[in-house]
């Protein structure tokens, strides 16, 4: 029975993944920051990915109980939306602290355990926004771009230890990520950037009408079962998959002109 650590299982992707793997008889440990209604098959751990001591204690507890961690799924994350100009440094730092340094802290704590065992799988939940810079989600995209570069480098560093690094890029999904997203508030932003609210309504519409979290959970389980998973997977609507492909083949000026039209900027 593989031991799996998933960060951020209180809702959304993390909860769906934890439930799916628990039903498939994995030994699932899920991190939460606050009390939740417990679900059978999930072993809950208090962990704040922005606090090094919290991360170290949670990982140590799993190792003491199980003697190994076979799979790490870096899922914990948050989002902010608004004009970059009006985003406070503290807000930007928090975005990076959760989405990028959170991945860094947890991975750094788990790697010695996997290296000692001689194998392991680390799955990092990135985003389409980690492949394409999205208007009025610039800091969110930046945090996910950072995860992309980090994983590409780490993949090369740990391959001799038989540790696999996989990036998963979800598109729009109907989760509470939409309602939990922090909106940058400034009295001048709607005047200087009058298209922000329209763009935000497009973003919200696409997410609320997006895929179900079970789609991603099923994909994660398939990745875990693969002997040699690919470096990355895009889990999104056909249109969003096409957009990633177009970014690769079109001149940048043409692609971002099309993207701007879609988001009304």
In angstroms, rounded to a whole number, what is the distance separating the alpha carbons of residues 28 and 41?
Answer: 7
Which segments of 61-173 are extended strands (E)? Answer: 71-74, 80-81, 120-125, 163-170
Active site residue 143: no
What is the chain's length?
265
Active site residue 26: no
Residue tagged active-site, from 26, 140, 193, 263: 140
In angstroms, rounded to a whole number, what is the distance separating the alpha carbons of residues 138 and 82?
Answer: 8
In angstroms, rounded to a whole number, what is the distance separating the alpha carbons of residues 78 and 91?
Answer: 11
Residue tagged active-site, from 31, 126, 141, 243: 126
Alpha carbon separation from 31 to 8, 59, 88, 95 (Å, rounded): 5, 10, 28, 19
Active site residue 189: no
In angstroms, rounded to a whole number, what is the distance separating the alpha carbons of residues 86 and 88?
Answer: 6
Active site residue 40: no
Nearest to 95 by CA among 81, 109, 110, 75: 81
- Catalytic amino acids? 10, 126, 140, 144
């Amino acid at each position: 029975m593989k031991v799996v650590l998933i960060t951020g299982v209180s809702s959304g992707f993390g909860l769906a993944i934890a439930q799916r793997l628990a039903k498939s008889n994995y030994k699932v440990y899920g991190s939460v920051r606050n009390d939740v209604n417990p679900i059978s098959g999930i072993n809950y751990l208090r962990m704040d990915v922005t606090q090094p001591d919290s991360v170290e204690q949670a990982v140590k507890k799993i190792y003491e109980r199980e003697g190994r961690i076979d799979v790490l799924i870096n899922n914990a994350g948050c989002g902010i939306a608004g004009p970059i100009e009006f985003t406070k440094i503290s807000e930007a730092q928090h975005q990076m602290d959760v989405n990028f340094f959170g991945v860094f802290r947890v991975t750094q704590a788990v790697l010695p355990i996997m290296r000692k065992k001689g194998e392991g799988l680390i799955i990092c939940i990135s985003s389409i926004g980690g492949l394409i810079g999205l208007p009025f989600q610039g800091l969110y995209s930046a945090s996910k771009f950072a995860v992309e570069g980090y994983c590409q480098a780490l993949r090369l560093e740990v391959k001799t230890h038989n540790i696999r690094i996989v990036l998963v890029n979800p598109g729009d999904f109907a989760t509470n990520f939409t309602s939990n997203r922090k909106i940058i508030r400034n009295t001048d932003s709607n005047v200087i950037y009058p298209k922000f609210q329209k763009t935000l309504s497009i973003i919200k519409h696409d997410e609320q009408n997006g895929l179900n979290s079970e789609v991603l959970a099923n994909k994660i389980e398939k990745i875990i079962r693969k002997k040699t998973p690919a470096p990355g997977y895009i889990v999104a609507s056909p249109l969003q998959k096409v957009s990633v492909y177009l970014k690769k083949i079109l001149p940048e000026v043409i692609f971002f002109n099309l993207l701007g039209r879609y988001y009304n900027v």
